[in-house]
Structures are given as C-alpha cells and as structure tokens.
Structure 1
Amino acid sequence: MLYTHKTFEYESGLKEADVALLGVPFSSTETGRSVKHGPLFIREAIRDIAGFDPKTGKNPFEGTKFCDLGNVSVVPGNWKLTEEAIRETLRDVFQENPEVFPVILGGEHLITLAAANAVAEQHGSLTIIDFDAHRDLMDDWMGEKHSHITWARRALENSKIRLVQIGCRSWNKDEWEPFKDRVKEAIEGVTGPAYITVDLDVLDPSVAPEVGTPEPEGMGQRELMGLLEKACRLDVKGMDIVECSSDSVGTQTALAAAHIFKKVMIWK
C-alpha cells in the first residue's frame, strides 16, 4: 500500500463507518500527466485542512465515522484486472456495511466506470453526476475501448446508469451528437440514487493546474461548490475525485480536492 499514515485523527472500523475512503492509483491510459499519485497527495491535503467550516458552522470530521481502507492493488497497464479489483473490493465493502458511503480517490477517470457500476450493483438504477471539462463519450481511443476518454460511453452501456454532465467545454462533435438527447446537462429533475464524480479538470487551470488534461476557461472553486451543494441534495450513494496529477505535498489541485471532499461530507 502506498499510503500508510492515518488520514483522519479518529478512524472507525468498516462495519461502523459512515464513510469509507478508498484510493485507486491507476494511470495507464492517460494521454497527459500521470495521476497515479493523486490518492496520496489528496489524503495529505485532507489531513492538513481545517475541519471547521465557517459558512455552515460544521466540522464533518467530528461526528462522522470514517474508515480509510488504503489503496486498491491496481495492475499497471491492465484495466481488466484493475476493474475486477475495484469492483470486488467495493462488493466486499458493501457486504460488510451495505449503507456505507464510498469515496474513491483517483487515479484516472476510467476508474469511475468500475466504481459507479459497483455502486449501481448495490443500490440499483443510478444517475452519475459528472463534473468534467470533457465529455469522455468517445467509442474508442486509438483502438482502445477502455480509457479515460471513453469511460462515460462505456458507463451508458449499463442499462441501470443515466448520466448528467456539468462543466464540459471540450469535445468532438461526433462523440456528442449520438448522446445529446440522452445526456442531461442540469441536476434539476434527477430522481433516485446518484453518484458524483469530480474530474478536477472541471476547474480552471488557474485554480487546479495539476490535472491530467487541463482545459482553459473552467469553473472557479466557488461556482463548483455551489453546484456540488445542489447535487448533494440528491440521494447520493457515493463519489469519486479523479485526475489529480500532483507530485508533491500542498499543491493547489490536491488542496482543491480536499476542500471538495470536506464540503461533500458536510452536505451529503
């Protein structure tokens, strides 16, 4: 396991936990910077930020029972085995605690495919709320059906999954045309269980420069937080934060990810 220190001052066992944290340091289909160390540096940032939130008057690290499960043993370069490991791990987690809220730290965006499918397997039909600069709806990339550029299309092949995309500002016409009537671009009207995925490139590079595939003209932190608060009014069953390419402690992107985690823990 890459990470060995406690993320939270007080941790519970999985059976009693409200929230289970799981790292997936997979970065094998990235076309930009490696994001395999994202789980490590996001955890370090979570440890460093203040728990108390002046706007809400709450501290999510007090009263919430957290369990950090460490990292999934990924197989670099092999998505099939890594996907099996993610899904098997989450099945075991839900078997031990059916109502726990999983938070997955990536790692590239492809891991959302395995995580969301596992959550849908546990909770039934699911709407993925995808905060992302890119559509990721390509059918393949350089002949590869499973990549961080195709994960959303593969997710829609599961009849239990619907998709809402927010913050997208870069895509190919051919990847969007077949789905523009099927994929929503607003949270309003979503019912039933939901799963939140935050690709950190949804933020502007001035806010989060250390991402796998940065894209200009993105959101500010305040805008994203407002939309996340709205998403958290849904029946959210799990989430992930992906595409952090930080390579040292204290980077802007890892800190942004930590604050996203903190706020969702307050709002969910």
Structure 2
Amino acid sequence: MYQPKNSSMSPRYVGIRTFMRLENIRTVEDVDIAVIGNPFDTAVSNRTGQRLGPQHIRDFSILLRPYNPNQEINIFEYCSAVDYGDFEIIPQNIHASYDTVKDELSHVLEHDITPIILGGDHSITLGHLRAFAKHYGPIALVLFDSHSDTWDNYFGEKYMHGTPFRRAVEEGLIDVDHSIMVGLRGPLYGPEDVSNPEELGFKTIPMKKMHELGQKETIRQIHERVGESAAFLSFDVDFVDPAYAPGTGTPEVGGPTSFEALEYIRALNGIDFKGFDLVEVLPSYDNGEITAALASTVAYEMMTLAALQKKNQK
C-alpha cells in the first residue's frame, strides 16, 4: 500500500519533490492511482515553459494532506498511489512523443490504474486519449477550458495545443454524444469558432451560459450528458480566471474563482472517470505560486474522485 509520507512526522522540505510526497516508484503492482508528468510544451501558440508545469505542481503539492474534508474521505484508506515520474517525451517531436506516451500509458491502464497526468501543453491530451480509446474504446470527454481546442490547424500545423480535440474526433477516440466542454470564453477569429465544437458533436456550456444557469444546473447537465459512460476529465488551468491562475500561456479573463472551479470538480462524484489530466501550468508567469496552489489542489480533487469511486465500489 503506497501513501504519502506523514508531514507531521517528517518535515515537508525533506526528500525528493514528488506529488503530495508519494513514493517515486515506476510500478504497476499494488497501485490504484499513478500521478504522471507529461512535460511536453513545444506545440504552444504563445508563451512556452509548460514543460516545467509538472515540477511546479509537485513542488507546491507537499502541503496537501490525505483527508479531504469537503468530500469527507481519507484518500489512502481506499487507494494506493505513487508518483510514477514523467513520460520520456522527445522535445519538439510531437509524433514520437505521442507514441511514447501512448505505449507507457497503455501499460498503466492494462493494470486498472487511474492516471492523473500533469502537463505540459494541451496538445498532450491527444496522446492520452489514444491510450484510453485503445483500452476502453471511444471515451466521454469532460473538458474544463476557456478554449475548445477544435481548430483544424494553427500556422498550418495540424498538431498544436489548439487542435487536439478535432484530431481526437477524427481518429474516433471520443464518444462525442456523451462529451461536454465547459467554460468556453474569450475573443475568437470568427463565428465558426463558436460553432466548431458543436458541429463535431460536443455539447458546450460557455462561461456566460454557466453564469446564467448557475452551478447546480451546470453540474446537472454535465452528469446528464456523460451518463454512465466511461469518461476522461481534462482540466486546462486557463479555465480559471487569471486573477486566480496567472501562470498559464493563453489566459482569458472572466472565468471562475479558484473556489468555484474546485466546487465544480467535487460535484463530479459519481461519473465513471477512468483518468484525468491537468494542463497549461506555466511557472514563469505564476506570481507567488498562485497557480501551483490551485493546480495541485485540482489534482488532489481528481485523486479524491478516484478514491470515492473505489469507496463506492466497495
């Protein structure tokens, strides 16, 4: 049974930085949850440096504790978890990196482990979805993001952080009939950018609509859309207003607070999530580690959802 070091017995600044002070061990034996870094960032359109996101999140995560009072659960009473380390990506070679990630992640999924993947720019999610679709078939996507990332190309390139979900639909990786995008906002190039995700089959709830519906109704619609389908949660940190998450590459104002974002994730309990990723954390723009504090807690809430699922199964 793998669990974090007890920080009331061992100072937080002792030892190698791992997520939540979990053991850094690349094993699939006796593991329920694996935290994995995917430090790829050479498919961005603006600021770079997301390759350092996994390290930045891990650094702050040492403050996290095993009992989640909001969900009333001690994660490690139900789950054994490790920090699996990072995928061995190839800088500037997105296709070779996708192949590496798919192979390694497929190995993890074959052992019924729930991965929580720390990015990296949002292009990495296509590699994750390839592995999940290989193991589970087309999977329902729940996306929290200010951008739909469904452009056909960027600078003429088909594989960028603004294109992964169009590619995923084209490759048959996503069950679009049970997928939803939440929090979309910001200036676009034209009205087709608004209609693109829905034309691909996604349900969307833009940020303005979220405010009109309220949190309770937004969550109800997410649950209704996903239903009992196997699902994957992708969380772009720019979903959150840059006042609460300045450390990201393409910030969009008018988003939720950190509290509101965490409440949305907590309310997803009951959805059959098979895995998670958290992307676009950019340390060089992160004043006072505000974004790291949020991102590490988002990953913690993802881990809690996995633990609640184990609890409910028992």
With normalisation by structure 2, the TM-score equals 0.78
How many Å separate the matches in 2 of 1:101 and 1:217? 32
Q: State the SS of the aligned residue for 1:148.
A: coil
Match of 2:266 in 1: 229
Query: Is the 8 Å Cα contact of residues 26 and 36 (structure 1) preserved in structure 2?
Result: yes
Q: State the SS of the aligned residue for 2:181.
A: strand
Q: What percent of counterpart residues are identical?
A: 30
Whether 1:50 and 2:65 are equivalent positions in the alignment is yes
Aligned Cα RMSD in Å? 2.1
Whether 1:183 and 2:202 are equivalent positions in the alignment is yes
Letter in 2 for 1:21: V
Query: Is the 8 Å Cα contact of residues 136 and 152 (structure 1) preserved in structure 2?
Result: yes
Structure 2 residues not aligned, in runs of 5+: 1-14, 205-220, 307-314
* Greater RCO structure (CA 8 Å; 6+ sep): 1
Whether 1:18 and 2:54 are equivalent positions in the alignment is no
Shift of 1:68: 1.4
How many Å separate the matches in 2 of 1:265 and 1:240? 11
- Of 120-129 and 99-108, deviating more is 120-129
Output one character per residue of 1:8-65: Cα deviation in whole Å (capped at 9) or x when no partner. 4454742211101110110102122221100001111222233333333333255421
How many Å separate the matches in 2 of 1:54 and 1:179? 36
Higher helix proportion (structure 1 or 2):
2
Q: State the SS of the aligned residue for 2:84.
A: strand
Q: Structure 1 pair 92/250, CA: closer, same or farther in 2 (3 Å)? A: farther
Match of 1:7 in 2: 19
Q: Structure 1 pair 7/249, CA: closer, same or farther in 2 (3 Å)? A: farther
Match of 1:72 in 2: 87
Query: Is the 8 Å Cα contact of residues 51 and 262 (structure 1) preserved in structure 2?
Result: no
Q: Structure 1 pair 9/245, CA: closer, same or farther in 2 (3 Å)? A: closer
- Of 134-143 and 153-162, deviating more is 153-162
Match for residue 84 of structure 1 among 96, 99, 104 = 99
Letter in 2 for 1:259: T
Aligned residue pairs total 264
Alignment of 1:198-209 (within 5 A): 198-209=235-246
Output one character per residue of 1:142-169: Cα deviation in whole Å (capped at 9) or x when no partner. 1100000111111111324123100110
Query: Is the 8 Å Cα contact of residues 116 and 128 (structure 1) preserved in structure 2?
Result: no
Shift of 1:249: 10
Query: Is the 8 Å Cα contact of residues 238 and 280 (structure 2) preserved in structure 1?
Result: yes
Output one character per residue of 1:178-209: Cα deviation in whole Å (capped at 9) or x when no partner. 43251112412313100000000000001000
Structure 1 residues not aligned, in runs of 5+: none
Match of 1:148 in 2: 161
- Of 62-71 and 250-259, deviating more is 62-71
Match of 1:257 in 2: 295
Q: State the SS of the aligned residue for 2:51.
A: coil
How many Å separate the matches in 1 of 2:63 and 2:77? 15
- Of 28-37 and 203-212, deviating more is 28-37
With normalisation by structure 1, the TM-score equals 0.91
Match of 2:283 in 1: 246
The structure with the larger Rg is 2
How many Å separate the matches in 1 of 2:235 and 2:146? 10
How many Å separate the matches in 2 of 1:121 and 1:54? 36
Alignment of 1:204-223 (within 5 A): 204-223=241-260
How many Å separate the matches in 2 of 1:215 and 1:124? 33
Query: Is the 8 Å Cα contact of residues 20 and 58 (structure 2) preserved in structure 1?
Result: no
Q: Runs (4+) of structure 1 moved beyond 6 Å?
A: none
How many Å separate the matches in 2 of 1:250 and 1:19? 29
Query: Is the 8 Å Cα contact of residues 132 and 198 (structure 1) preserved in structure 2?
Result: yes
Whether 1:109 and 2:113 are equivalent positions in the alignment is no
How many Å separate the matches in 1 of 2:302 and 2:18? 20
